[in-house]
Amino acid sequence: MSEPTSTDPISTAPPGTGRIGVRKTYKLFIGGAFPRSESGRSYVVNDAKGRFVANASQASRKDVRDAVGAARKAFGAWSERTPYNRGQILYRVAEMLEGRRAQFVDELRAAGQAKSAASTEVDQAVDRWVWYAGWADKLGAVVGSANPVAGPFFNFSTPEPTGVVGVIAPDSPLLGLVSVVAPAIVSGNTCVVVAAEPAPLPAITLAEVLATSDLPGGVVNLLTGRRAELAPWLASHMDVDALDLAGIVSGGAELEEAAAGNLKRVIRPGSGDWSEEPGTARMTAFLETKTVWHPVGV
């Protein structure tokens, strides 16, 4: 961790010597734009050795509200994109992420990971986007059905996205984040994500990837800040349809209880190994099954 790299957020050159680095301001990602928190608050993010890295935006209840509004606004058009188109956009995210490998490796290293672990995590995150991208136009065939009813009717069931998903991302700052965002949006949901609290910066850099991948603004909204402050607002918000509590360690029961207010679909907290192949559960949790009947006749 001692060798500075070209993208190190902090210049380690002595004052007054050489070129001064241009730092990045880490803001929120709402509706495709990068605003600061409306609250004007920020919190210090240090590296693993306790050195200052950046002031991250500390999102507020009103930022949650704005993000939910943006996600709701984006839902109609995103869910009406063809699955093929959504698949291409998710694949494009993988391409953009691959192109920024070095930057993400550096950020993960700043968050305390060894070089090889950081490199592996970025590889896995890219591959995860590719994996989910391929699901977009296959889910309907795998979980839908034509139903053999006892009567002169054509009857079929298709999966449809639930709507706006609130996501409390796990601590795994990149792979964990990708592993909860990709399954939510691949089927046409939009989401509001509270990034990993201890290491929020890769989430905002991922937002830069999303913003340059033809992903419509508002499909993914990323907030940095205090989980304990933001999660209850997301869990009780009446215009949020589903909730992924992946990043919740304690207080999950209260959040689930709040989610009952409008009967959100909830993925309960669970300790997962994000490096394993995910399976379909995180996608199907945020799908509704629609069954259509039509008479057969002349």
Residues at the contact surface with another protein, assessed by CB under 8 A = 142-143, 145, 147-151, 153, 155, 157, 162, 241, 252-254, 256-257, 259-263, 265, 281, 288-295
Distance of closest approach, residue 57 Cβ to another protein, in angstroms: 30
Question: Which C-beta is closer to another protein: that of 192 or that of 207?
Answer: 192
Taking the least distance from each CB to another protein, the nearer of 68 and 175 is 68
Nearest-approach distance from CB 223 to another protein, in angstroms: 23
Three-state secondary structure readout of 45-99? EECCCCCEEEEEECCCHHHHHHHHHHHHHHHHHHHHCCHHHHHHHHHHHHHHHHH
Q: Nearest distance from residue 258's CB to another protein, in Å?
A: 8
Q: Which is nearer to another protein, 14 or 295 (CB)?
A: 295
Nearest CA to 176 out of 78, 108, 86 is that of: 108
Residue 10 or 228: which CB sits closer to another protein? 228
Comparing CB distances to another protein, the nearer of 10 and 141 is: 141
Is 168:231 a contact under the CB 8 Å cutoff? yes
Beta strand 287-295 with 153-161 is antiparallel
Tell me the closest approach of the beta carbon of residue 221 to another protein, in angstroms.
Answer: 21
Comparison of 18 and 151: residue with beta carbon closer to another protein:
151
Please, what is the minimum distance in Å from the beta carbon of residue 153 to another protein?
7
Query: In angstroms, what is the minimal distance from the CB of 152 to another protein?
Result: 10
Nearer to another protein, 16 or 152 (CB): 152
Least Cβ distance, residue 224 to another protein (angstroms): 27
Shortest Å distance, C-beta 80 to another protein = 8
- Our CB check for another protein shows the closer of 5 and 262 to be 262
